[in-house]
Amino acid sequence: MKSFDAIVIGGGQAGPFLAARMVEKGMKVALIERKFLGGTCVNAGCMPTKTLVASARAAHVARSGAVYGVNIPGEIAIDMKVVRARAETVTMNARNGLIGWFAGMDGMTVIYGHARFEGPKTVSVNGETLTAPRIFLNVGARPVIPDLPGVNEIDYLTSTSIIDLDTLPRHLAVIGGSYIGLEFAQMYRRFGAEVSVIEHGPKLASREDEDISDAIADVLRSEGIDIHTGASDIAFAKSSDGITVATDSARIDASHVLIATGRKPNTDDLGLDAAGVITDGRGFITVDDKLATNVDGIWALGDCNGHGAFTHTSYNDFEIAAANLLDGDDRKLSSRILAYALYIDPPLGRVGMTEKQARASGHKILISTRPMSRVGRANERGETKGFMKVIADAETKKILGAAILGIEGDEVIHGIIDAMNAGTTYPALQWSVPIHPTVSELIPTLLGDLKPV
C-alpha cells in the first residue's frame, strides 16, 4: 500500500490545480486520471468546441462579406479536416501543457488508470492500493443517451465523438435543444450542413425566460435551422442513405444524429458504496457548503457534485477548497453567484436569476430591456440580433439577474457579474462612465430604464 498526503481522482478543472497547491505546501499527492488530463473542458468541451465555433464564424463572416463591401468570388468552401485538426491542436497544446507542468513537480505522482474506493481512506488503481487522509473527487460527467426506440440501432454522435468528425454531414439532426445541442446546430449549419433541432420540451434553452428562448430560436431560424419543439414519440431507424428521425409531427431524413440530451456524473463505477459516500437520485455526490461529502476526509469538486456543470464553477470549487483547507479561509459554495454563457452567435451571457425565478422568489422587482438594434456598436458591426435584460430588487436596489443576448454578450455580462459580486446597487452602477463605442456603454442606460412590474 502506497501512502500519500492527498489523493485526487480526476484530472479536470478543479483537481489538478488543487493538487498543485497541495504540492506547493510540501504535500505528497497522487493525481489519478483514467484518460486525459484537462477533463471535459480541454478534451471534449470548451477548448475544442469554441475552436470549432470560431471556424464556423469565419465561414459565416466570409459569406456575409458583400454586405460590408468585401466581395469574395466563388463559393466559400469548408475543409473539415483542417477544421478538426485546428481544434485538435488547441486541445493537445493544453493537455501537453498540463503534462509538462506536473512532470516538473516534486511531490506529484500522476497515475493513469481507473480508481475505485476500497474503503473511506483507500483506493485501488492498476492493481495497487493507495491511501491518504484526504481524497478529492473530480471525476466529471459524460453525455446521457436516452432510451429511445431505435437509438441502439444507429451510429449516433455525442458531444464528445462529434469533435472527431472530419467530414461534413449532409443533414445533421440534433436531439436536444439546450446549450450544447444549439452550439453544434449553428456551427454545422455555418459549415454548410442542413440542420434540424428536435426538442421534447415546449421551447429551446428551457432554463431561460420565454422571451430569451424565443429570441434564440429566431436567431437560429434566421440561418436556416429547422426547429421542432414539443416533439414526442422520437424514434430512429436506419435508411438507405442515413438515418430517419421520426416524431409525432415530423419525419427527418438525416445523415448524422447528434444526441445532446444532457450529461450525467461519472460516479457509478467509483465504488462509492465501499467508502460510504452518498449520492442523490441522479448520481451526483452530495456535498455541504464547503464541498465536503458525508464521509470525513472526502470532498467532491466539479461536475460530479451537481453544483454547476461549467469549467468556471469547477475552478471555483478548487478555489473554495484551497482557501478553506490550505489558507485558513471560510469560503462557501452558497456565496457563488451563478453565471454562464451560450455560445451561439450572437452569444448569450447570463447571471443570477431569470425573471421567472425573481417573480417566484417574492421580490418586488424592476425590469428593463433594450434591443440590440439600439446599441451603436451592434449597428456599426451590422449585428443587431438579440436584446439586453436586467432584473433588480425594488427595495434593496441590488441587481438580481441579467441576460445579454447579442454581440459580445458573453463579455458584456461581466460588468453586471462584477457588480453583483461586489454588492453594488444599480443606482451606483448607473453613474459609471463606460467607453464609447462599446456594447457595455448601454448598461447604465439599461439600468436607468428599470421599471416595476
The answer to whether 312 is a known catalytic residue is: no
Name the CA radius of gyration of the chain, rounded: 24
C-alpha cell at 196: 434540424
Nearest to 370 by CA among 389, 344, 342, 391: 389
- Other Cβ atoms less than 10 A from the Cβ of 257: the count is 24
Which of 114, 171, 307, 436 is the catalytic position? 436
Write the burial class of residue 438 (CB in 10 Å: 0-12 exposed, 13-18 middle, 19+ buried): middle
Cα 98 from Cα 293, distance rounded (Å): 27
- Other Cβ atoms less than 10 A from the Cβ of 229: the count is 16
CA torsion angle 445 446 447 448 (round to 10)? 50
Active site residue ranges: 436
